[in-house]
Amino acid sequence: MIVHGGRPLKGSVMLSGSKNATLPIMMASVLTDQPLRLRNVPRLRDVNTAIALLQGLGVSAEWTGEHELTLQAAKLTSNDAPYELVKTMRASFCVLGPLLARTGKARVSTPGGCAIGARPVNLHITGIRTLGTRIQIRHGYVEAHADHLEGARIWLDNPSVGATENIMMAAVLARGRTTIENAAREPEVQELARALVSMGARIRGSGTHVIEIEGVERLHGADHEVVSDRIEAGSIMVAAAITGGEVELPNAPTHELDAVIAKLRESGVYVQANGDGVTVARDGKLKPVELRTLPYPGFPTDLQAQMMALLTQSSGTSVITETIFENRFMHALELTRMGADILMKGPTAVVRGPAKLLGAPVMATDLRASMSLIIAALAAENQTEISRVYHLDRGYEALDAKLGALGAQIERVKDEV
């Protein structure tokens, strides 16, 4: 991706459906033999990976509209989620719960390492084991068997989003009641619960730390519209702010963006939020802020990299602490290559600004890191070349077209090597 910086973003753009809500809901299609029709599904690499994973199990997947995907697991033909797919996309591991609940048997590859931290799956495994599953880890695969799942009380060591989702999808078909304590409260968990309820599941308390699931005999088909992507929203809000532009996001999920709006306002950015929709503008200087990533409703780790790019332009010293993942500052080194002044010590980054950013060749290391480099490039002098943009295509739909429509000079070229 080649970006020529220095142009303020101006205009209005529609957000896509949420990636992190879509992926687990797609896995939920395994729980019923009837069709699950999903609307507002983003066209992303990760969605294609999830489709490939489901098709491998025997699920039929058909795009029934530009953003409408119909999944039907009429008959499952395999219980295997292979390494090739799980290592490409960790969210694949969330097929364990539904597969086990539907068939009593699942063999799912463990995901292995990750660019942003160790990201183990121990909480998924412990939780699902507590529901009466025999689990062995052999040859890099989790092999799980259960004659039937039995509801249980499960306490999570930390409020993991993926573990909460995986356990919830196993528990909806278990006998009796499951209680997940210290559950994740993220909007994506709430969205999955809404989808499961529309399929006939009995779930209470999603969005709080205690989720109660009353198992049912079977689930049925449903029609579900995916909510807009709060991380895409936050990313474009930050991009508008760094360029000193004015951007409206008419379908932003405003109520999910409180922490982001608060931090942007604290840094001197104008944000107007009403119902669904936000407008972001800036014409004055940016102020430094202190920021700590936390589970929802705290500031999301998925917007930390983008905020770091913005804070390189504020007048003063900002302090960013990453508490969710232990290695999520890879973008800082690339930002430094563009002229940013960032000092890292353990989970904390000290960002001194305003730094003059100059275009440079930089390399994306993960999805959100790629976005932070695009954001920095929008404010940099001259041309920035960002390589490995396939990371972006995993999670941002048509980003170049959307930013282009807001006035950014951004172009996608083929890699020469």
- Residues labelled catalytic: 114
CA–CA dist 33, 103 (Å, integer): 12
Minimum distance of ligand EPZ from residue 375's CB (angstroms): 15
Per CB under 6 A, the list member of 1, 3, 13, 23 interacting with ligand EPZ is 23
Minimum distance of ligand EPZ from residue 44's CB (angstroms): 10
Residues 229 and 12: beta-carbon distance below 8 Å: no
Asked whether position 81 contacts ligand EPZ by CB under 6 A, the answer is: no
Minimum distance of ligand EPZ from residue 211's CB (angstroms): 14
299 DSSP assignment? B
| Phi, psi of 208, deg, nearest 5 | -120, 180
Please give the torsion angle defined by the CA atoms of residues 302, 10, 373 and 385, in that order, rounded to the nearest 10 degrees: 150
Q: Which residue is nearest to ligand EPZ (CB)?
A: 162
Q: What one-letter code names the amino acid at 270? A: Y
Minimum distance of ligand EPZ from residue 325's CB (angstroms): 5
When the beta carbons of 185 and 282 are compared against ligand EPZ, the nearer one is 185
Hey, what are 389's tokens? Answer: 């943009």
When the beta carbons of 3 and 128 are compared against ligand EPZ, the nearer one is 128
Hey, what are 211's tokens? Answer: 């989720």
Asked whether position 267 contacts ligand EPZ by CB under 6 A, the answer is: no
- How big is the site for ligand EPZ, counted in residues (CB under 6 A)? 27
When the beta carbons of 18 and 312 are compared against ligand EPZ, the nearer one is 18
Residue span binding ligand EPZ (CB under 6 A) among the ranges 7-15, 116-124, 139-147, 275-283: 116-124
Per CB under 6 A, the list member of 160, 190, 243, 304 interacting with ligand EPZ is 160
Minimum distance of ligand EPZ from residue 202's CB (angstroms): 23
Hey, what are 274's tokens? Answer: 């009403």
**Residue 408 contacts by C-beta under 8 Å, 6 or more apart in sequence?**
3, 7, 9, 239, 243, 378
Minimum distance of ligand EPZ from residue 393's CB (angstroms): 13
Q: Which of residues 362-401 bind ligand EPZ (CB under 6 A)?
A: 367-368, 395
Beta bridge partners of 138: 141
Residues 95 and 110: beta-carbon distance below 8 Å: no
Q: Within a 10 A sphere around the Cβ of 297, how many other Cβ atoms? A: 15
| Phi, psi of 255, deg, nearest 5 | -65, -15
Per CB under 6 A, the list member of 8, 35, 98, 162 interacting with ligand EPZ is 162
Per CB under 6 A, the list member of 117, 207, 347, 407 interacting with ligand EPZ is 117
Asked whether position 20 contacts ligand EPZ by CB under 6 A, the answer is: yes
Asked whether position 142 contacts ligand EPZ by CB under 6 A, the answer is: no
Asked whether position 120 contacts ligand EPZ by CB under 6 A, the answer is: yes
CA–CA dist 245, 87 (Å, integer): 39
Give the 3-state secondary structure of residue 86.
helix
Minimum distance of ligand EPZ from residue 161's CB (angstroms): 4
When the beta carbons of 152 and 184 are compared against ligand EPZ, the nearer one is 184
Give the 3-state secondary structure of residue 21.
helix
When the beta carbons of 60 and 126 are compared against ligand EPZ, the nearer one is 126
State the Rg of the chain over Cα.
Answer: 21
Asked whether position 244 contacts ligand EPZ by CB under 6 A, the answer is: no
Residue span binding ligand EPZ (CB under 6 A) among the ranges 65-73, 98-106, 158-166, 194-202: 158-166
When the beta carbons of 117 and 277 are compared against ligand EPZ, the nearer one is 117
**Residue 18 contacts by C-beta under 8 Å, 6 or more apart in sequence?**
42, 187, 188, 191, 226, 227, 228, 229, 230, 231, 232
CA–CA dist 383, 105 (Å, integer): 53
Beta bridge partners of 213: 178, 203
Q: Which of residues 302-341 bind ligand EPZ (CB under 6 A)?
A: 302, 324-325
Residue span binding ligand EPZ (CB under 6 A) among the ranges 53-61, 155-163, 211-219, 246-254: 155-163
Nearest to 408 by CA among 239, 271, 250: 239
Per CB under 6 A, the list member of 301, 313, 372, 384 interacting with ligand EPZ is 301
Asked whether position 158 contacts ligand EPZ by CB under 6 A, the answer is: yes
CA–CA dist 291, 260 (Å, integer): 10
**Residue 25 contacts by C-beta under 8 Å, 6 or more apart in sequence?**
36, 38, 191, 192, 195, 224, 226
List of residues contacting ligand EPZ (CB under 6 A): 20, 23, 90-91, 117-124, 158, 160-163, 184, 186, 188, 301-302, 324-325, 367-368, 395
